[in-house]
A and B are shown apart, each in its own frame.
Chain A
Amino acid sequence: MATNAGTQPPAEQTLFVRKASGLVKGWSTGDGFRYSFFSTNIFLGIWGFLYAVFIPGGSVFWSIIITTLFVLLEVVVYSGLISAMPRAGGDYVWQSRVFHSSVGFIFGATGWWFILWLWIPIYAALCVNSFIKPILRILGAGGSADWLASKNGVFVASLATIALATYLVAVGMKTYARFQKWALWIGLAGCAVAAILLLVTTKAHFITAFNREALHLYGTKDAYAATIKNAGAGMPSSMFAGTFKETLKLIPVMAFWLLWPVWGATLYGEVRGAKDFRKNIYQMAGGLLAAVAIVIAFLFLVTKTMGWAFFESSANGYMGVLYAYIDPSKVVGGGDYLSPTAMTAWIVNNAAFQVILIAVISLLVFGWWGTVFLSSTRMIFASAFDRILPERVAKVTSGGVPVYALLLMAIPSIIVSAFYAYQPSFVQLTYDATLVIAAMFFVTGLAFMVMPWRAKAIWDNSALPKGKFLGIPWLAVVAAIYSLFMLGNLVAWFYDKTNVYGVGYKNKNSMIFMGILYVAAIVIWIVAWAVRKRQGMELEAVAKEIPVE
């Protein structure tokens, strides 16, 4: 059964359908919007702003705008590919089809499978620092909050994330899908309350409230002024301030947050049947733009109520201690992350209100992070069906649990989480989590760019607009511009002379880590190719076009 072959009859019928399986309306634009909105998670954005302190000469506001414009091109590219080839496996399948099985596997496996191991501790750190620790401190459990910041705490939080993600893929997705729906609206309601608080609160009132809570929770006197004094050196005074050159340098920082409205790419084939190019654009662009609008509104409110210099100083205080360039004794809480959500909740001098508001807003993250393994398992399945991975990998238990695919996610995630927790330098590899996926996105952009020629039959057969610009399909032009954008990011991350992003050629650990991922993917493909060859099976033949004539 196809999923959206049928349409409602317009004034004059443009399609006559008969009684046949699959003639249904596609899933709602709202569902797709919600998935993209969650993925371009506003709290990933706020967490990502921490890294902007390393490029104080750039404008946060304008970098968001510029990055968003380029990511809209990404939305067009992915909408086009989903429309032309709506298959579970996403980038892996498209690259295999347009280029070669090896290309699809190397970039698909590293981007949708291996690097998700690193996202686990990043998710855990985001949740713990943004929500759980602030709640524990308000509840008077400062010791527990401190423990969560310890090496063991970080590792345990990562294990909890792995356990939840495994559980959801194994048995709970349907319930979780319902939870997501509620989590979005309740979380947004919490954000609305926070926005009203920031709107009606004067800066003077905020400073008083912040100082009160900092004294109560951390024992720091006059914390607002101290934060600016001790961690504000060199920080910008406005989110608009910055040179064009430095603002461009902030784009790879914003990519950490904004590249993900297409996160559902590997799932489209199986659950959505989304062949409608324009609807895909509406869904993903809608999710992206809504997230950007909310964050920009938040930044304006921060500027008005907290003061931009303070906001940047509080971020710099945390990063300074984490990266060991600020003495912990000089900043509030010894470098504890001053969660903007918590600081907003502190405006109201009532512990119960503070806890409830933080908990409610946290649903915007908890409604999203559970799906961290979902896309990966689909990529693993697709490569198993193509016989690159053993058949066993795609096996499910009688209860429907993809046990081997989950083990391939969970076990390495535990190892990577251990490194993240117990090797202080490993936390500096955060941008590898974006870089490796961005490399896959770059190759996917190239695949769409050459699709009219390399996969002509699929291109011709698709319902994509075939308009041309200077004789070249305009969608290929869009893909070329998008690919250049991604290439620019990759170059910025790799050839990072001043080590501002921390994952370039100057960071040996990053090079080794990524090298291991790519070499592992290459080795797996070559071994699979050799084994299948011996069995009389050509891996390349899986996607080889059958002659039509």
Chain B
Amino acid sequence: MKVRLFFATDVHGSEVCWRKFINSAKHYEVDVLILGGDMTGKAIVPIVDEGAGRWQYTMQDVVHNMQGDDELVLNERLIADHGYYPIRMTHEQVQDLTAHPEKLDELFKREMRGTVERWVQFADERLAGTNVQCIVCPGNDDTDDIDEILATSKTITVGEGNVIDMAEGYQLVSSGWTNLTPWDTPREEDEPALKERILSVVAQATAPPDRLVLGLHAPPYDTQLDVAPKIDWESLTVKGQDTAHVGSSAVKEVIKEVQPLLSLHGHIHESRAAERLGRTLAINPGSSYVEGTLSGVVVDLDGKSKVKRYRLTMG
């Protein structure tokens, strides 16, 4: 029997993208939903109290002024859909956070946890009573405590470091860890350690390669899936039009050695592509979370040993 997967990744705190991800089960009539990592947002947008019911925030160099609660709530929603955390605060609180990084860290943790808790609740409401399997794997930008919150869900299975059974004997091997980045993110390590980590999870799989799906956040190195603007690691600036392959050689080696049926990746938002590596179809659907658009891929497995078809989506 055919099994249909929907895979999306890198929603980075976007409220609208998470809702779309959960709703995509019905929209694309899929059996399995897989989120490939990087759930949490990257930034807090302070909405500053200017007094007399006036508020102001700046996003992408545009200054937004609001008057009254209705406008405030609407703009908070827009910021959250964008993937950022909107926080109301005074000028004094902004300065306090600027001066005290530890307070900022605490605020980030609180917002990330709060958002994921709300997302879990939404997923449980929507997916309860359906036969949809929902697998969520954090990515390199997600802190460890996210896994614990996801584990409280009644409908979500946590992917990190696990082998997860799917319909028709397919299995998903999942990890959100990546090779080193210039940002020193929570889940990254050098290539040998990453390879060892992935192989240790693969070793737990009992399905044959032609029924095995890898869900690895980092894309394989030197493919169409891992092209990003070239960055100076010191200044964190983009080097003109130059691009570079920034994926993981460990991931590529594992794919070549194991030759699973399908390999799903994310991490590099700009590198939306599909490529065959030997018998394996590797896909990175990219990410357009900033637009509030959910980039994904619908994959039909034939119930045997082949990917029947796939289509990249922008929903």
Contact = CB atoms under 8 A, between A and B. Distances in A.
Contacts of A177: 240-242
A543 B291 CA distance: 13
B58 A27 contact: no
Nearest to A402: B224
A1 B271 CA distance: 9
A3 B292 contact: no
Interface residues of A, number: 72
Given A275-B290, A537-B309, A546-B23, A270 B243 contact: yes
A272 B231 CA distance: 12
A19 B291 contact: no
Contacts of B186: 19
B238 A25 contact: yes
Contacts of A396: 224, 275
Interface centre among A7, A18, A269, A462 (most CB of B within 10 A): A18
A350 interface: no
Nearest to A548: B19
B227 interface: yes
B42 interface: yes
B288 interface: yes
Query: Chain B: interface secondary structure?
Result: mixed
Interface stretch (B147-155, B163-171, B177-185): B177-185
A132 interface: no
Contacts of A22: 42, 183, 269
A399 to B, nearest CB: 10
B288 A548 contact: no
Contacts of A84: 291
B59 interface: yes
Contacts of A14: 45-46, 57-59
How big is chain B's contact interface, by range? 35 or more
B240 A457 contact: no
A498 interface: no
B292 A458 contact: yes
Given A385-B274, A549-B19, A272 B94 contact: no
B267 A1 contact: yes
Interface stretch (A66-74, A242-250, A387-395, A513-521): A387-395
A20 B312 contact: no
A41 to B, nearest CB: 18
A28 B43 contact: no
Given A21-B141, A537-B309, A12 B94 contact: yes
B202 to A, nearest CB: 24
A458 B20 CA distance: 14
Contacts of A457: 16, 292-293
Interface in A20-41: 20-28, 31, 35
Given A13-B97, A15-B44, A385 B315 contact: no
Interface string B254-290: 0000000000000111111111100000000001101
A24 B238 contact: yes
Given A14-B46, A97-B314, A458-B293, A19 B61 contact: no
A13 B242 CA distance: 30
Contacts of B276: 395
B269 A385 contact: no
A273 B270 contact: yes
A497 interface: no
B244 to A, nearest CB: 9
Contact of B98 (A13, A17, A31, A181): A13
16 contacts: A15-B58, A16-B104, A24-B229, A28-B240, A269-B270, A272-B229, A385-B274, A385-B312, A457-B293, A536-B300, A541-B28, A542-B313, A544-B315, A546-B315, A547-B27, A548-B20
Given A2-B287, A27-B241, 12 more contacts: A1-B267, A2-B290, A3-B228, A24-B237, A85-B291, A272-B229, A396-B224, A462-B291, A463-B59, A535-B309, A542-B311, A545-B315
Top 4 closest pairs, chain A to chain B, by CB: A546-B315, A461-B292, A14-B58, A463-B60
